[in-house]
Amino acid sequence: MLKGHTALVTGSTQGIGLAVVRGLAQAGADVIIHGIEPPGQGEGIAAEIAAQGGVKAAYVYADLARAEEAEGLVAAATRALRAPDILVNNAGIQYTCPVESFPLDRWNAIIAVNLTAAFLTMKAALPAMRQQGWGRVVNIASVHGLVASVNKAAYLAAKHGLVGMSKGVALESARQGITVNCICPGWTDTPIIQPQIDARAAHFGGDRQAGIRDLLSEKQPNLTLLPPERIGDAAVFLCSDAAAGITGVALPIDGGWTAQ
């Protein structure tokens, strides 16, 4: 389905990013895995995905908290494999704290990784997509790009910003065969939410399952942590020809969270 295409997925050595990259490789795309792991470790993941999917795979390191590294990522990916015509901005970080005590350095890091990096990678990747007359950008936002929760000022600003920016870039690209969409996951079973699960579990004597139930019952009506593969499946669909008419959307995959 995606044979002949090349995908760059940021933050793809674990969690949702790894599920997305596996899904794209299974659909036939060559893939550039990105992360902050040492090259040896990242290249190991790339080799495994290449063998499983029968595709080409490469690994590129870049710390997206540093604008110059985010700015250079697409060029590095192009050197490693080929200019990507599928870009998935997935890398993200979280920090929870009331706004009055939210540290400025945490704010700056979240805006840099969750928002500015997506701006810089889109800026760098779009020219080759325009030239080709085909491109797919999938930005992994969050339900917190659509609705709010307490203690997440920076994450909310970044994810709402990502949804808004993606709509604008979708309009700028609509006549060139390029789609730009967001996926807005609810609670998904990955490392990023472990500190929030641990904090809830502490109210139940350290019972992790009770902590998860408590977290889900507050917001996610299906009471089920999403497997990262569900987000990967949706990303593959948004990259397919079947989704060619879908652009500028922010698609919740959230067990009913934003229906409330």
Ligand X SMILES: NC(=O)c1ccc[n+]([C@@H]2O[C@H](COP(=O)([O-])OP(=O)(O)OC[C@H]3O[C@@H](n4cnc5c(N)ncnc54)[C@H](O)[C@@H]3O)[C@@H](O)[C@H]2O)c1
Kindly list the catalytic residues. Answer: 155
With respect to ligand X, which residue has the nearer C-beta, 92 or 211?
92
Distance separating the N- and C-terminal Cα atoms of the chain:
35
**233 Cβ neighbours under 8 A, 6+ residues apart:** 23
Nearest distance, CB of residue 75 and ligand X, angstroms: 16
With respect to ligand X, which residue has the nearer C-beta, 104 or 175?
104
**Given 49, 57, 64, 235, the residue binding ligand X (CB under 6 A):** 64
Candidates 6-14, 98-106, 209-217, 240-248; binding stretch for ligand X (CB under 6 A): 6-14
**Given 78, 90, 173, 220, the residue binding ligand X (CB under 6 A):** 90
**Given 6, 7, 8, 13, the residue binding ligand X (CB under 6 A):** 13
Nearest distance, CB of residue 177 and ligand X, angstroms: 26
With respect to ligand X, which residue has the nearer C-beta, 130 or 213?
213
Site residues for ligand X, 104-133, by CB under 6 A, read 113-114
Phi-psi sector, 234: left (phi>0), alpha (psi -120 to 50), beta: alpha
Rounded to 5 degrees, what are φ and ψ at 2? -115, 20
Residue 42 binds to ligand X (criterion: CB under 6 A): no
The token duo for 100 is 């009055």
Residue type, 127: P
CA 225, distance to chain mean position in Å, is 17
Nearest distance, CB of residue 87 and ligand X, angstroms: 14
- CA–CA separation, 27 and 227 (whole Å): 19
Site residues for ligand X, 144-203, by CB under 6 A, read 185, 187-188, 190-193
How big is the chain, counted in residues?
A: 260
**Closest among 21, 34, 24, 228 to 113, alpha carbons compared:** 34
**Closest among 29, 25, 64 to 45, alpha carbons compared:** 25
With respect to ligand X, which residue has the nearer C-beta, 177 or 227?
227
Collapsing DSSP to helix, strand or coil, 97 comes out as coil
Contact residues: ligand X, CB under 6 A: 11, 13-17, 35-36, 63-65, 90-93, 113-114, 140, 142, 185, 187-188, 190-193
